[in-house]
Each structure stands twice: as structure tokens, then as C-alpha cells.
Structure 1
Amino acid sequence: MTLGAPRPSRDTIDLAYDPAEDEETGPAKKETQIIAIYGKGGIGKSFTLANLSYMMAQQGKRVLLIGCDPKSDTTSLLFGGKACPTIIETGSKKKLAGDEVRIEDVCFKRDGVFAMELGGPEVGRGCGGRGIIHGFETLEKLGFHDWGFDYVLLDFLGDVVCGGFGLPIARDLCQKVIVVASNDMQSLYVANNVCSAVDYFSKMGGNVGVAGMVVNKDDGTGEAQAFANEAKIPILASIPANDDIRKKSANYQIIGKPGTEWAPLFEELAKNVAEAPPIKPSPLEQDALLNLFSADETGRDYVLQPASMEDMHGRPVPEPKSLEVIYETV
């Protein structure tokens, strides 16, 4: 098995593999929608995914949520703040004991939602991207291709640009990408980077597209909507900057339950996520991204001033002598 091939094949981890395409397999299974969610750290991906996956399950869908962030916090809200044993940590312990990882060691469920965490190395002790790749290798061994889910939601940290975190986009391991952002420069910068990655790999022959954006902590200032318009991607949902949502999220409460105040918001999000087609985005240049905000907020009117050698030394610097070699003529 290799993760480095240009496109997935039967010997690679192709989470969207359709048995109907292979004459050697049995009856065709329904296609699973594999959706990778990206966003800046702390922007609310875990909050969004926990409530989205819960609502989908209550609507009768079979949903698997996989945390691909080294912080391993994707499932914390779903499980009431309890830490979920990660695939990497569990795999290391099992290997030392001479045992194999079993699905019941790493996958847990709540009210119809199945969830697991890939995990990652401790700070300074390994590559988080490599941990992601190792986690997917373990999923392959556990028989991922044969599982029967309607949706698999992958939570990826968008700040990091190394290969492991870009795996779903670079290797067609998902059909579409969703970005979570807010009305601030840093989260939109990350969203734009993700759009750039999708655009780049689509030009290389990739099939992954962006389904749209979820605006979290929406304060109504409109920068995220302006970005979506420029990038030519739809807004799937706008989650307001609301104190009730903030408090319940901080207390590990699911707000996306049918019949509750916020149920319509997540019912709409679930519908839009399911139906939104993958499209090729139009990423913005840096100046265009800055232009979404006022000059007072970004300082975009600043003119770069070149530094001099005197600046670097902190004192006047004499003109260096020429190193030209002059040969005397005989």
C-alpha cells in the first residue's frame, strides 16, 4: 500500500472507492459522501461538526466523524468533554503489547453518530502530517472500504500546509471540501489557502471541489460573505455570534438537536452539505484578500520601505573596497 501515487488505485487508500467500478467485487454498495472540513485552529470546526453530525444522525443518516487534528478535540463536544482514545496512541500501546488495533478500541458512538480520533505525536516528537497518513493506513487495515456510511466527515486543521493535512485534496480521498471561517482576516486567509490548494490540484487532474463555507461566530460585518462571493463559493450556513451558543458549546452541549431553538439552522446546514456540489473555487490574491477589510483594520495602505546597510549595522557604513583584481601590463 502506498499513499504517494498520483491518483488512488485499488492499492491505495481511496475512501471514495466504488465497488461497482470493479468487476471482481460483489454487488455495488451505495456511495459514501466523504467530506473534508478545513479551517483555522479555534474557528469552531469541532463545534460545527459535532452538531452537524448529530443532526444528520437524527435525520436517519449513518454518519462517521473522524478527527484529523493532532489536538484530538474533534469529538470532545460530541462526547460531553470526554477524551476519545486516539488511533495513534492506541496503536502504539497495542504494538508494544503484541496486539492489533480493533475497531472497538478506537471508534465510539452517541445517538447514532460514530466517531474516532486519529491523534498525533506529542509536541516536538514527530510530524503531525505523518501521523495523519499513519492513521489512514490503520483505517485501511480496519476495513474502511467495506463500511456502510452515508457520510464520513473529516476534520482537518487548515493552518498547516504539510502533505499529511492536504492528503484528502491532493489524493482525491474526498469528494468535496467545506471551509469554516469567520469575519476576520486570519480565518479567511486560511480559507483562501484551502481554496488555492483545491484549485491547484484540480488543474493537476484532481476531482475534489469546494462545496461551500460555514460562517461561524457571524457578527454581521460581512467580510466572510464578501470573500465567498469573490471566491465563487456558496455560504452553507451562518452561525451567529450568540452568547447562548457560546455558553452551551463551552459546556459541551449539543445544540443541533431536533425540536430545539437552533435545530432549523443545523437542519438547513445538513441539507446544504448533502446537496452542495463540489465546485472549483477562485482563490484571491493577497491584495484582494486585504481589500475585503478597511485599510484601518489591515494597514493595506502601508508602503514597503527598503532597509539600507546602515540600518542593518546601526551606524554609517563606508563604501566597501572593490575586490576587482587589476593586472599590471608588462
Structure 2
Amino acid sequence: TTSLLFGGKACPTIIETSSRKKLAGEAVSISDVCFKRDGVYAMELGGPEVGRGCGGRGIIHGFETLEKLGFHDWGFDYVLLDFLGDVVCGGFGLPIARDMCQKVIVVGSNDLQSLYVANNVCSAVEYFRKLGGNVGVAGMVINKDDGTGEAQAFARNAGIPVLAAIPAHEDIRRKSASYEIIGKPDGEWGALFAELAQNVADAPPVRPKPQTQDQLLGLFSAETTGRDFVMEPATMFDMVGKEELVKPTLEVVYDAV
């Protein structure tokens, strides 16, 4: 998201900058990690090096840095946090767990894996609401919408509104791939994104109804999921190619005195 905003340039990450400053014995300042364009301010949280750390831990460290930089006192109209939907990890669920956001927007498309992740987000919101949290789901943005309707059905079943449906259009794909801003006010998609922005601002946070795995599968046709299939238990013969050999136990049993 930040690379697209800055014309394809990589924004220095908070985690990398923090590590570098710490080694030099210096404190991180806003100007080290926050950059702006056309009235929009952006920062890139970043993550640990591949194979050397947990992404969730990186997020926790990043938020600790943001809090030291006065995160709770910033005077912006809106603060958008863009996260992966892997909220089964405590780090990714941090903004929900700590009530650091007011409402969550799920982004998904018409495929099972995408909706599975969207459902995980709804489950996390409901879990923390039961623990006394105040965060709710404002709605869903359907991305790469091909008109098949599974994402709309999920949103309806989960009790959340559809804030916008971004079509699977070649012009959008091409502009996104080349780091062009798609929703310019005077462009072809300006009205669509203006409506999305207004809906995001107006939509109240609601408690979602997370779906079970079978309910998610029910959004797709039987031809897709093989729903009429009956599971057959495997046997030891299947696993090793021969009948199971029953060996006597080597456990020593002592007679009661």
C-alpha cells in the first residue's frame, strides 16, 4: 500500500529503522519513519528477516515503537492499519485485542481461502468482544469481484454489509501492478472509491456472526467442494502395504503384594 502511494518507492520500515538506530545508540523520530504525499501520511511497519523471526512479534515491536512516538495523541481524521488476515497469530490480532482500532474492514474475494481468512478476522473480533472489547466489523470490501456472488453471500451470512465491490477489471489490475493510484477523483474509478471512502466513514462497527467450516463450504457448489463425498477411514494396510502386525507389549506388570 505504501509503495503504491509513493510511486513504487520502498518506504523505510519501522522495524528496520528501529534496529539500525538502536545499534547506533540513537532514538527513532517521526521523520525517520513517517512520510507524506498529498495530505496522506504513511509508515511501513515491516517484519523480521525471512526465517529469522515471527511476523507477529515484529508487529508487536512496531506498535511499541509507535506508542513511544505518541500514536494515541496523533490528530488525524482517520488512521488506517493494513494487516494480513492471519489473526490466529497474537501479533496480527494486536489492534483488535488492545482496542487500538474502532472498526475492522475485511477484504476478500470469491474464493474459499480468501473467505476463510475473512471469517478468521470475524472470529477474532467476536472473541475479543466476549472478553470485553469494543471493536466491531464495519463491513467487507469485495476485491477482484467476478460476479459469482460467494463473497456477497458470506457477508450476508456473517451479518456485515458490503462496503464496495471492486471489479476484476484489467485496467485496475494493470494500474495496481504498475504502482498507479487507481481511484483518482477525475478518473474512471473515482466515484467507486469515493463511495467506498464514504461507506467506510459512515458504517458503524457491528458484531459479526463467524461461520463454521461447513457453512463456508456451503457457499460453493457441490461440484466445487465435493460435498456429497463420504469420508472413508484409512487402515494400517493402506499406510504400510501389509496387514497390521500385533506385537506383544513389553510393559512389565507387577503382581499386587
TM-score normalised per structure 1: 0.74
Distance 1:261 1:322, change over 3 A: same
Higher relative CO (CA 8 A, sep ≥ 6), structure 1 or 2? 1
Separation (CA, whole Å) in 1 of partners of 2:244 and 2:197: 65
Q: 1:120 is matched with which residue? A: 47
SS of residue in 2 equivalent to 1:151: coil
Separation (CA, whole Å) in 1 of partners of 2:251 and 2:69: 69
Q: 1:203 is matched with which residue? A: 130
Following superposition, the deviation at residue 299 of structure 1 comes to 2.2
Q: 1:252 is matched with which residue? A: 179
Distance 1:257 1:315, change over 3 A: same
Amino acid in structure 2 at the alignment position of 1:199: E
In percent, how many aligned pairs have the same letter? 78
SS of residue in 2 equivalent to 1:193: helix
Matched, 1:301 2:232: no
Following superposition, the deviation at residue 323 of structure 1 comes to 6.9
User: Contact conserved, 2:86 with 2:92, CA < 8 A, in 1?
Assistant: no
Moved runs in structure 1, 4+ residues, more than 6 A?
Answer: 322-328
Amino acid in structure 2 at the alignment position of 1:279: V
Instruction: Tell me the alpha carbon deviations over residues 214-260 of structure 1, each in whole angstroms, 9 at most, x when there is no partner.
Output: 00100000000000110010000000000011111111111111121
Distance 1:110 1:320, change over 3 A: same
Separation (CA, whole Å) in 1 of partners of 2:254 and 2:65: 70
Which of 2, 8, 21 does residue 94 from structure 1 map onto?
A: 21
Instruction: Tell me the alpha carbon deviations over residues 3-37 of structure 1, each in whole angstroms, 9 at most, x when there is no partner.
Output: xxxxxxxxxxxxxxxxxxxxxxxxxxxxxxxxxxx
Q: 2:139 is matched with which residue? A: 212
Greater displacement, 120-129 / 306-315: 306-315
Amino acid in structure 2 at the alignment position of 1:241: A
Matched, 1:180 2:111: no
Amino acid in structure 2 at the alignment position of 1:100: A
Distance 1:275 1:308, change over 3 A: same
Which of 71, 82, 87 does residue 155 from structure 1 map onto?
A: 82
Following superposition, the deviation at residue 99 of structure 1 comes to 1.0
Instruction: Tell me the alpha carbon deviations over residues 35-76 of structure 1, each in whole angstroms, 9 at most, x when there is no partner.
Output: xxxxxxxxxxxxxxxxxxxxxxxxxxxxxxxxxxxxxxx311
SS of residue in 2 equivalent to 1:315: coil
Greater displacement, 315-324 / 240-249: 315-324
Matched, 1:282 2:209: yes
User: Contact conserved, 2:87 with 2:120, CA < 8 A, in 1?
Assistant: no
Amino acid in structure 1 at the alignment position of 2:212: E
- Counting matched residue pairs gives 255
Separation (CA, whole Å) in 1 of partners of 2:150 and 2:12: 38
Distance 1:322 1:143, change over 3 A: closer
Matched, 1:232 2:190: no
Which of 192, 209, 219 does residue 292 from structure 1 map onto?
A: 219
SS of residue in 1 equivalent to 2:47: coil
Matched, 1:313 2:240: yes
Unmatched 5+ residue regions in structure 2? Answer: none
Separation (CA, whole Å) in 1 of partners of 2:151 and 2:33: 36
SS of residue in 1 equivalent to 2:91: coil
Separation (CA, whole Å) in 2 of partners of 1:327 and 1:139: 64
SS of residue in 2 equivalent to 1:114: strand
Distance 1:327 1:167, change over 3 A: closer
Following superposition, the deviation at residue 145 of structure 1 comes to 2.1
Separation (CA, whole Å) in 2 of partners of 1:226 and 1:172: 28
SS of residue in 2 equivalent to 1:119: coil
Residues 262-277 of structure 1 mapped to structure 2, 5 A cutoff: 262-277=189-204
